[in-house]
Amino acid sequence: MLTAFRVSKRRVRLATRATRSLSTTANHEESDIVIVGGGPAGLTLASALGSSHAVRDTLKVTLIEAGDLDKVRGWSMQPGKFSNRVSSITNASQAFLQDIGAWDHVGVERTCPIEEMQVWDGISDARIMFSAAEMPSPAGFPQGEMARLTENLNLQRALLRHLASHPTIQLLDKVKLQSISCEEREGGGWPLVHLSDGRVLRARLLVGADGPNSPVRAFSGIQSYGWAYDTHAVVATLDHVPRSPFEPPNTTAYQRFLPTGPIAFLPISATASSLVWSTTPALARRLVASEPAVLADMINAAFRLPEVSMRYLHDRLLEADAPLSASVLRDEIAFRERAHGVDPRSAYAVTVGATTGVPPADADAVPPLVTSIQPGTVASFPLRYNHADAYVGEGAGARTVLVGDAAHTVHPLAGQGLNMGLADVEALARCIHDALSRGGDIGSYTALLPYARERYFENHKIMSAVDKLHKLYAAQSAPVVWARSVGVEVLNELDTLKAAVMMTAGSGRYSSQSAKAVGWDLAASGIENVARGVGAAKSVTDALIGIAGAGVQGLLRQVTSPRRS
């Protein structure tokens, strides 16, 4: 799955203008919707379309995935062992997956509720907590839960199981999108999708669910705006001691913002959690190459030691000619703990470890101590920010739409990437359904526009909140660092994070519906707005506007007054 991400753009020959022979040689297959990409977004879209009677009956849907979907179908791991690619599925996302009938296929025993989140600043220690009680949760969800940590493969397998009951959705795997051309036809041609096995699909609607390097995005000529963060994320599955009966269960997610980047601890079971540690590429390389005991202690230290000491340990790790040994690191940590006067019985002690007996009073301020790393789970990814300029293609890229990471790639610090993709899919599926019920052409710009309108700004808000936060912590300029060190601004910014998380926590799911309910209100003020716009252009025909404007005022009063009464 990780390697499947790396589809080089160069290998996809992009022909925006096809020769006439290409469009008239009729050796292509017709497909109403071609979804490129069998990641979480693509599979969810296929599932959502499959679960709609109207879509199933009238549209031919084809999904193309370069990787081997049988591997996902047959994916299994022994209990207690977990994949390193996990996502926190918000209640809103889960509600959607339930609606389409896919969530029932998730191995829930391998998922873990997140009930609380603790986030703090590495320098000032300013901290905020947020719990499920503050989050809007869709009806029918336990109040105590804000998200569910789920392995991506667990979700993808569930989607494939769900799709097995909808055989009309055609899944083509181990086949690659090779190039896309645009038919030459008066009034706009349709996309022709050329596959690595020589087949050509003519698509009424082409969906790019093909991840961050999206070949579909490149074809459709949609520009995107973004940059690589000078940051990599180290992921791993961590084993740790269970919380004692006197402590809260392992359902709290922790994240500490270090100047090098945030480190996150995400519970997946009572004794295992997932790591996402964003840091400099050089450090990431060293961490990945370290022996497991070293990585475990570095993680424990990163949640506990004061920032100066972490900086020191980072330097040690980078400077060492030979890899740092576990015992040397342990001595270093013990020394720093003594120097800082860390109470060996407190939760902040790394080297003393979990002792028997009553847990320290501050036990839930930090995650449990990591005892080992599950073999084969350590990996690292470069992080980037990227947002497509548009979600719907035009001109030679007409009849294309982007969802998921193909449309937006975001820093994982708020755990929103996948959730944003699922919200895209929900909106797009609804849009397709609506267009269909009114006899619309689902590939037309008009049919797709509501999707873009619903999602673009929503995603943009989350992305800029997350990006702002990353920037604040990555900034090295003196005033920013100073402000951070004394805790000024930090709490505000952590609130930004909270807002970003809240945005997708469940409220978003209903905003579209309520927007429909107030449609007429908007329409009423729409008249007002047009009237004002005209009124503003006074220079043209003053008198006319004077007369008509008076009429408008009267009419507007009619529109608005009965509502108030």
Partner 1 sequence: MRAVRRDLLTALRRTPSFIHIRSLAHQSRRTLSSATTSQAADTSHSSVNPDEIAHFSRLSSMWWDERGEFGLLHKMNPVRMQFIRDKVLEIMRDDEGELSAERERNVLQGLDVLDVGCGGGLLCESLARQGGNTLGIDASASNITIASLHASSDPALRFSDSGPSASSSSHTKGGQLRYEHTSVEALLAREGPRRFDVVCSMEVLEHVDNPRQFLQHCAELVKPGGHLFLSTISRTPLAYLLTIFAAEHLLRLVTPGTHTYAKYVKPAELLGFFQAYRSPPSPSTSTTLSTPTPSTSAESAADATRPWISRLYGGVPARTEAETRGIVYVPWNGEWTLVPRGAPGKECAEAVNYLFWVRRPRED
In the complex, which residues of this chain contact partner 1 (CB under 8 A)? 30, 32, 53-54, 57-58, 60, 183, 185-190, 204, 394, 434-435, 437-441, 444-447, 449-450, 453, 519-520, 522-524, 526-527, 529-531, 533-534, 537, 540-541, 544-545, 547-549, 551-552, 555-556, 558-563
Residue 412 interface partner, choices ligand FAD, partner 1, none, CB cut-off 5-8 Å depending on type: ligand FAD
Nearer CB in complex with partner 1: 352/548: 548
Kindly give the pairing relationship between strand 170-173 and strand 61-65. Answer: parallel
- Supply the minimum distance, in Å, between the C-beta of residue 51 and partner 1: 15
Nearer CB in complex with partner 1: 492/541: 541
C-alpha 130/C-alpha 491 separation (Å) is: 13
- Supply the minimum distance, in Å, between the C-beta of residue 443 and ligand FAD: 20
Nearer CB in complex with ligand FAD: 7/365: 7
Closest to 391 in 3D by CA, of 415, 420, 434, 416: 420
Residue 367 interface partner, choices ligand FAD, partner 1, none, CB cut-off 5-8 Å depending on type: none
Nearer CB in complex with partner 1: 32/426: 32
- Supply the minimum distance, in Å, between the C-beta of residue 191 and partner 1: 12
- Supply the minimum distance, in Å, between the C-beta of residue 499 and ligand FAD: 16
Taking each helix axis from N to C end, the angle separating 307-319 and 281-289, rounded to the nearest 10 degrees, works out to: 70
Nearer CB in complex with partner 1: 199/384: 199
Nearer CB in complex with partner 1: 223/446: 446
C-alpha 315/C-alpha 322 separation (Å) is: 13
Interface with ligand FAD by CB under 6 A: which residues? 4-5, 7, 36-42, 64-67, 87-88, 176-177, 209-211, 215, 233, 235, 276, 381, 404-405, 412, 415-419, 421
Residue 560 β-bridge partners: none
- Supply the minimum distance, in Å, between the C-beta of residue 67 and ligand FAD: 5
Whether residue 153 contacts residue 87, with contact meaning beta carbons closer than 8 Å, is answered with no
Residue 551 interface partner, choices ligand FAD, partner 1, none, CB cut-off 5-8 Å depending on type: partner 1
Residue 211 interface partner, choices partner 1, ligand FAD, none, CB cut-off 5-8 Å depending on type: ligand FAD
- Supply the minimum distance, in Å, between the C-beta of residue 187 and ligand FAD: 28
- Supply the minimum distance, in Å, between the C-beta of residue 95 and partner 1: 24
For the residues of 438-474, what is the DSSP string, one character each?
TT--TTSHHHHHHHHHHHHHHHHHHHHHHHHHHHHHH
Identify residue 465 by its one-letter amino acid code: A
Q: CA of 474: how far to CAs of 115, 127, 302, 326, in Å?
A: 28, 18, 17, 29
- Supply the minimum distance, in Å, between the C-beta of residue 374 and ligand FAD: 16
Residue 40 interface partner, choices ligand FAD, partner 1, none, CB cut-off 5-8 Å depending on type: ligand FAD
Query: Structure tokens of 345?
Result: 């019985």
Q: CA of 90: how far to CAs of 147, 246, 464, in Å?
A: 4, 28, 19
Residue 361 interface partner, choices ligand FAD, partner 1, none, CB cut-off 5-8 Å depending on type: none
Nearer CB in complex with ligand FAD: 7/354: 7
Nearer CB in complex with ligand FAD: 305/392: 392
Residue 530 interface partner, choices partner 1, ligand FAD, none, CB cut-off 5-8 Å depending on type: partner 1
Residue 11: Cβ within 10 Å count: 10
Residue 57 interface partner, choices ligand FAD, partner 1, none, CB cut-off 5-8 Å depending on type: partner 1
Taking each helix axis from N to C end, the angle separating 508-517 and 519-536, rounded to the nearest 10 degrees, works out to: 70
Nearer CB in complex with ligand FAD: 65/332: 65
C-alpha 177/C-alpha 38 separation (Å) is: 12
Residue 526 interface partner, choices ligand FAD, partner 1, none, CB cut-off 5-8 Å depending on type: partner 1
Identify residue 488 by its one-letter amino acid code: V
Whether residue 92 contacts residue 502, with contact meaning beta carbons closer than 8 Å, is answered with no
Closest to 267 in 3D by CA, of 117, 78, 136: 117
- Supply the minimum distance, in Å, between the C-beta of residue 225 and ligand FAD: 17
Nearer CB in complex with partner 1: 55/147: 55
Residue 262 interface partner, choices ligand FAD, partner 1, none, CB cut-off 5-8 Å depending on type: none
- Supply the minimum distance, in Å, between the C-beta of residue 540 and partner 1: 7
- Supply the minimum distance, in Å, between the C-beta of residue 232 and ligand FAD: 9
Residue 245 interface partner, choices partner 1, ligand FAD, none, CB cut-off 5-8 Å depending on type: none
Nearer CB in complex with partner 1: 285/453: 453
> What is the distance, to the nearest Å, from the Cα of residue 300 to the centroid of all Cα atoms in its chain?
27
C-alpha 313/C-alpha 309 separation (Å) is: 6
Nearer CB in complex with ligand FAD: 309/419: 419
Nearer CB in complex with partner 1: 174/185: 185
Query: Structure tokens of 79?
Result: 């209990």
- Supply the minimum distance, in Å, between the C-beta of residue 524 and partner 1: 6
Measured from each CB, the residue nearest to ligand FAD is 39
Residues 6+ apart with CB under 8 A from 74: none
Residue 13: Cβ within 10 Å count: 12
- Supply the minimum distance, in Å, between the C-beta of residue 551 and ligand FAD: 51
Residue 404 interface partner, choices partner 1, ligand FAD, none, CB cut-off 5-8 Å depending on type: ligand FAD
C-alpha 405/C-alpha 80 separation (Å) is: 29
Query: Structure tokens of 65?
Result: 């995935």
Check the CA dihedral 171-176-178-179 and report its sign: positive
Whether residue 367 contacts residue 254, with contact meaning beta carbons closer than 8 Å, is answered with yes
C-alpha 77/C-alpha 79 separation (Å) is: 6
Residue 37 interface partner, choices partner 1, ligand FAD, none, CB cut-off 5-8 Å depending on type: ligand FAD
Closest to 300 in 3D by CA, of 371, 374, 242, 248: 371
108, with CB counted inside 10 A (0-12, 13-18, 19+), is: middle
Whether residue 191 contacts residue 182, with contact meaning beta carbons closer than 8 Å, is answered with yes
